[in-house]
Amino acid sequence: MFEQNSTLIMIGDSVTDAGRVYPLAENRKEDLGKGYPSLVNALLAACYPQLSVRMINAGISGNTVRSLKERWQKDVLDYAPDYLSVMIGINDIWRQFDDPQLTGKHVYIDEFEATYRELIEKAKESGRLKGLYLISCCFMEPNKQEPMRKMVEQYNAVTKKLAQEYGAVYVDAQAAFDKVMEYKHPMYLTWDRVHPQLGGHMVIAREFLKAAGYDLA
């Protein structure tokens, strides 16, 4: 659980971005966007009002793990966060399906793992980081044999392995969505199987806070 007056950075792609303000999105009203970072902030304020945490949303639409590497210093390390949450991977996968000819945009699994590992090691070098949370990327498709869903499972297995290796908390948002999809059609959660609607963002926010040790049952 987060310490008083600590800083939490949530970084990722459009799922994290979710319409946040630029250049810096933190704590105030709609500045954090309309996604799970804003909901995490709101749930903490409502359920744990005694806790003061500086929340920064550093998501940027379209990012891959390669993109995170380019901005890791200025958007993560320069803030020396106490807690860091990373949700990345869906664009690394998606570009292999929606832009199959543009191979320069593709981040294959070996590069994904090597780059992600490098980012984690840089984040931990300072010795300041008290908590690291690696959130699985998500594809709202219940058929695990569907080609893109199958690849999501493979990339998430890498994320989970890295979390175990580096003592991070693995947040299995995909598994949380799978439970919801036992009762709700994917279109209830998302319009394109990737970008969650509000209910989908709440699934991620709740799973994140549960993994961080908060009681939201």
Burial pattern 52-65, b for ≥16 Cβ within 10 A else e, equals ebbbbbbbbeebbb
Give yes or no: 85 in active site: no
Q: In sequence order, what are the beta bridge partners of 26?
A: 56
DSSP letter string, 93-132: HHHHHHSTT-GGG---HHHHHHHHHHHHHHHHHTS---EE
With H, G, I as helix, E, B as strand and everything else as coil, classify residue 24: coil
Q: How far is CA 126 from CA 77, 79, 118, 121, in A?
A: 9, 11, 14, 9
> Known catalytic residue: 14?
yes
Q: Please provide the DSSP assignment of 56-82 as one string.
A: EE---TT--HHHHHHHHHHHTGGG--S
Which of the following is catalytic: 98, 99, 126, 192?
Answer: 192
How far apart CA 88 and CA 59 sit, in angstroms, is 10
Q: Among the options 67, 75, 82, 195, which is catalytic? A: 195
Beta bridge partners of 87: 12, 135
Is-catalytic flag, 13? Answer: no
- Active-site choice (14, 38, 85, 136): 14
Residues annotated as catalytic (active site), given as ranges:
14, 192, 195
